[in-house]
Amino acid sequence: MSVIKEKSNKPLKVTVVVLGGFLIAASITPYINSYLLSNDNTESVIESETATATSQQLEIENTVSAQQDIESVTNSDTSSAQQTSKAVTTTPQQEKVILPALHDSDAFFLKNIKTADTKSLFVPLDIIRNMVVFVDNFSSGELVNNFNPLETPVKSFSVNEQKGIVTIDSDSYLRYDKYAQAISEIDTQTFIDLYSLLSPLIDQAYQEIGYPAGSFNHTFDKAIDHLLETPIIQYKLALSSDSVMYKYADKNLESLPDTQKQMLRMGPDNLQIIKQKLQEIQSELQRL
């Protein structure tokens, strides 16, 4: 309460003094003007004396009025502070969220995903466990598609071939547009809040595969760093093929980890969108 008074009374007193001074000056000014404009000295003296008396009376009245204003505003402030304090103390505490068991967490996880389009991107089975395993491997440059928590694109990978040169079809990048869009629409603070909420389940899943408690944050940060290191290639990516699969014709690109080679298949625009959002998320994660 004393802090509230110190903060409110000082500017209040200054305001009252300024307003009081302004009112006193305003009440005297007409009489000063009449004295200066008078041609009759006798009448001027009488008017001056009358003005002085009237001025003193007004000054007394204004002083009393100012004091009453101070008491009125101070009482109002005190009452308001008391009501605020009462409101704070009587506000009910936020309801504590009770997390489900890890094996029963899919519905809870999806409930916290706000849009149906984004929900549809997840494989609705052991989402947190799969996510933890996938991120752990991704941080080391390894792809484990069996644990990918996301649905794979409906359309197949496609290429163009002209004059014997095979390149990734630009339409093939479109398969990942909805993933990049979903990531771009993530509110960073909402993501951090959800991540913090789920941390006990994430840590449990990480301990299940042999890691100490509380170490997943470092792995997540490492996985983001690894993705951010993926080069953004604006030109058409040439491919070579053997009897089984396509490879990048550029040996430098083919020597990249499997994770980064996969990210290149999303296309430069989608990769840029994802990088930008992950940089935002990473800067907030490092504050946890």
Spatial contact of 191 and 185, defined as CB atoms under 8 Å apart:
no
Look at residue 67 in the predicted model and tell me its pLDDT: 54
What tokens appear for 208 in the block?
């299940």
Look at residue 62 in the predicted model and tell me its pLDDT: 52
3-state secondary structure of 93: coil
Look at residue 287 in the predicted model and tell me its pLDDT: 82
* Alpha-carbon 26 to chain mean position: 52
For residue 123, CA distances in Å to 34, 118, 126, 147, 197 come to 90, 11, 8, 10, 21
**Residue 58 banded pLDDT, cuts 50, 70, 90:** very low
* Res 79 pLDDT > 70: no
Cα separation, 49 vs 55, whole angstroms: 10
**What does the pLDDT look like over 156-192, one tens digit per residue?**
999 999 999 999 999 999 999 999 999 999 999 999 9
